[in-house]
Amino acid sequence: MLAKRTLSALILAPPFLASIWFGYPYFNFFICLLGVVSVTEVVLITNNQEGYKASIISVSVGFISGTYFISFGDYDLSIASFIFGGIFAIFSSKRNVINILWMEFAYLYVVIACVSLIELRDLSEIGRQAVIWLFAVVWANDIGAYIIGKKFGSARITPRISPGKTWIGTFAGLFFAALVGWGIMSTFFKHGNIITLIYISIIIAIGAQIGDFLQSYFKRQFGVKDSGTIIPGHGGVLDRGDSILLTAPFMYLALIFNPELTLLWK
């Protein structure tokens, strides 16, 4: 499993990091692609892996058009596209009300995260650094929690929701996130209080772990272990991106509503 995870990361990381580096249109395209796969997985999960073609087409078209319009700053058409994509998915779905509510919640969850990433990358002079730093901290949390938890963990946090999550893995993830957030400080920040940066790193790591638990809880409601099979060793795109779904909006809003944070970046 670890070998598959490592190989998948080595294949996918370079083009993704390149898209972050070069920004629009590459990053927008990459996020749109990942978002479409994610919302497709949402429809498949909430339809008990049977899926419904009209719902998949609806959320995909809504997501693609919404991403397209937001890339050009047309927020009205973007919001309208996302909303109509979700509404048409409701009318085209043949599942019960509970399943439809889950589908709409997960769809909105993915939309907000992907839009936040695009908007975060588009922040004039700090977008590139902010996105790279965010992913570095989140990946450090994921890797630390997985490796340490797998090797040394025994006490499970919530066996019924996420049996693989252990307390030692959780604290290891927070430690690795803080370590990486502090370790790459000089690369991304002009100046700043070390304690503050470690504090922010830990908050992001906590958000990543909460996002992981939310994803696990969502899958358990439908008796699904993995959201998909597209990424060997990881499962689906939702499985690999669950840690970023909650942290991306947090990071974006933190920079928007606290301009003092933007002054720390190079």
User: Considering the chain, what is the average pLDDT of its residues?
Assistant: 85
Per the structure, the count of domains in the chain is 1
Q: What is the pLDDT of residue 192?
A: 61
**pTM attached to this predicted model:** 0.89
Grouping H, G, I as helix, E, B as strand and the rest as coil, residue 158 is strand
Give me the residues of the chain with pLDDT under 70, please. Answer: 1-9, 48-51, 94, 153, 186, 190-193, 232-234, 259-266
Match 């902010």 to its residue by tokens. Answer: 130
pLDDT value of position 135: 93
Q: How many Å apart are CA 73 and CA 66, to the nearest integer?
A: 11
Question: What pLDDT, on a 0 to 100 scale, did the predictor assign at position 263?
Answer: 60
pLDDT confidence of residue 232: 66
Supply φ then ψ for residue 238, to 5 degrees: -65, -35
pLDDT for the residue numbered 187: 72
User: Which residue range forms the structural domain that includes residue 154?
Assistant: 2-262
Q: Identify the pLDDT of residue 111.
A: 95
Q: How far is CA 67 from CA 99, 118, 148, 233, in A?
A: 25, 9, 37, 29
